[in-house]
Amino acid sequence: MPPIETIIEDFELLDDWEDRYRYLIELGRQLPQLPPEALTDANKVQGCVSQVWLVGRTDTAAPPHLFYEGESDAHIVRGLVAITLALFSGRDAAAILATDAEAVFARLGLEEHLTPQRSNGLRSMVTRIKTDARRAIDAPA
């Protein structure tokens, strides 16, 4: 999976939204599939019209870092999962909370080119990850 900076640069090179959608789908194809036992209600992201699962783990470093894997049953949404993971996975909890995901998504032009349902799902993924980051910070050492 390319880093978020590379994804942003690639998006800026693509003038046509059809090409950007194809790139989104390609990013989604690069995500490893989650094992069937990970596709649980506990891992399911609420607020997404398509089915989306995020599996997170937090390391014991100080500060804690959060790592994610994700999946969706819809091609474009799977690409949105890939972008979200590129933005957040592997970062420390404070950096996750400080990240302005909306600004990144706006820079990519996602808001004006996604359906309201997909935009809501994207926000739901971000909310879930930021909630995990808050819990990681608040967890007793």
Rounded to whole angstroms, the Cα distance separating 44 from 38 reads 9
Q: Which two tokens stand for residue 110?
A: 């996602």
Provide the b/e sequence for 56-94 (b: ≥16 CB within 10 Å): bebeeeeebbbebbbbbebebbbbbbbbbbbbbbebbbe
Rounded to whole angstroms, the Cα distance separating 129 from 132 reads 5
**Catalytic-labelled residue, pool 4, 7, 45, 48:** 48
Active site residue 79: no
Active site residue ranges: 48
